[in-house]
Amino acid sequence: MEKLYTASVTAKGGRDGHIKSSDGTIEFDVRKPREMGGQGGVTNPEQLFAAAWGPCYLEMLEMIAEREGIDASEATVEVHISLNQDGSSLLISSDLDVHIPGIAMVEAQKLAEKAGQSCPFTKAVKGNIATRIIAS
């Protein structure tokens, strides 16, 4: 395996803390969401995970669609990351709601699933996080 790129971020203070990338392009506070009894008002780890997964997934979707002669340049994905209580531990689940304008729903679902099989983020969580991919 050839390493193409490595992103490095330093986190301090947990869910009520601060993060900074090694190149300085991101630096901000994170807070526990109000729904979990936190202060809210700034981003949280689940939002950051969703924000990273979405563009990666769409890139794979567009590449696969292009190979099949389909224009998916206007496609969108809403990535929903949920933090779930499971007994005494917390688990993450995810829902990817994919919209590809101009194609039939059955074709959109097939492309959405193919992108899920190719996306590095989706592959990384396979078997560890319950993931639902639905075209709408």
Q: What is the pLDDT of residues 78-88, one digit of tens each?
A: 999 999 999 99
Overall average pLDDT of the 12-36 stretch: 95
The reported pLDDT for the residue numbered 26 is 95
| Structural domain count of the chain | 2
**Same domain (yes/no): 52, 6:** no
How many residues in total does the chain contain? 136
The whole domain housing 53 covers: 45-135
**Same domain (yes/no): 117, 54:** yes
Contact 122, 132 (CB under 8 A): no
**Same domain (yes/no): 55, 34:** no
Overall average pLDDT of the 73-102 stretch: 96
Overall average pLDDT of the 17-44 stretch: 94
**Same domain (yes/no): 92, 104:** yes
**Same domain (yes/no): 59, 101:** yes
Contact 124, 57 (CB under 8 A): no
The pTM (predicted TM-score) of the whole model is: 0.91
Between CA 120 and CA 92 the distance in angstroms is 17
**Same domain (yes/no): 95, 115:** yes
* 104-123 pLDDT tens trace: 999 999 999 999 999 999 99
Q: What is the DSSP letter of 20?
A: E
Mean per-residue pLDDT of the chain: 96
The reported pLDDT for the residue numbered 124 is 95
